[in-house]
Amino acid sequence: MEEIKDITVAFTGHRTYSHEADDELRLLVRRLYAEGYSRFLCGMAWGFDLAAGEIVAELKQEHPEVELIAVVPHKGFFQLFRGEDAEQYKRVADIADGAEFLSDVPSDRSYLRRNDFLVDNATVVVAWWDGVPRGGTAYTLRRARHAGCRVINLYPDPQLDLF
């Protein structure tokens, strides 16, 4: 299993993300693929997660060996999505090579389990984090740093301290 972790990238970021770093994210995903990373974990939340999932889906079109895994906090998570977010979720879910559902029911714990799964199964964590020290993205980044993951934050503020 460690060999899989060594080629795996996870994404974490804010739901308020509105594609402002898609070009940088696209370049980064391609660079990571060139470095040997071919497995990508998408937490499936609207915002940054699904934007990253769609960019990995683009890469899969050129490189079918790329693997995209949907990491879903709980069954029925899709029911929270509306409009374009629901369409984007479906596009990413349809192209994903597999899905991990981490709970049968929604709860705060199901989201923590999803974030833990992302960190525990990757060596690189790509983020869109604005520096707010609370919330799921901050939690995931603290955990990633503690676990020794390589963390890359695309949020455009060089003053941010990544813990």
CA 157/CA 46 separation, integer angstroms: 22
Per-residue pLDDT at 3: 77
19-43 mean pLDDT: 97
Fold (CATH) for 2-109+123-132+146-153: Rossmann fold (3.40.50)
Entry pTM = 0.94
Question: What's the pLDDT at 125?
Answer: 97
pLDDT tens column, 32-49: 999 999 999 999 999 999
- pLDDT confidence of residue 162: 62
- Over the stretch 73-130, which tens digit does the pLDDT of each residue have? 999 999 999 999 999 999 999 999 999 999 999 998 999 999 999 999 999 999 999 9
- Position 160 confidence tier, pLDDT thresholds 50, 70, 90: low
Contact 153, 38 (CB under 8 A): no
| Domain ranges (residues) in the chain | 2-109+123-132+146-153
Q: Which amino acid is at 130?
A: D
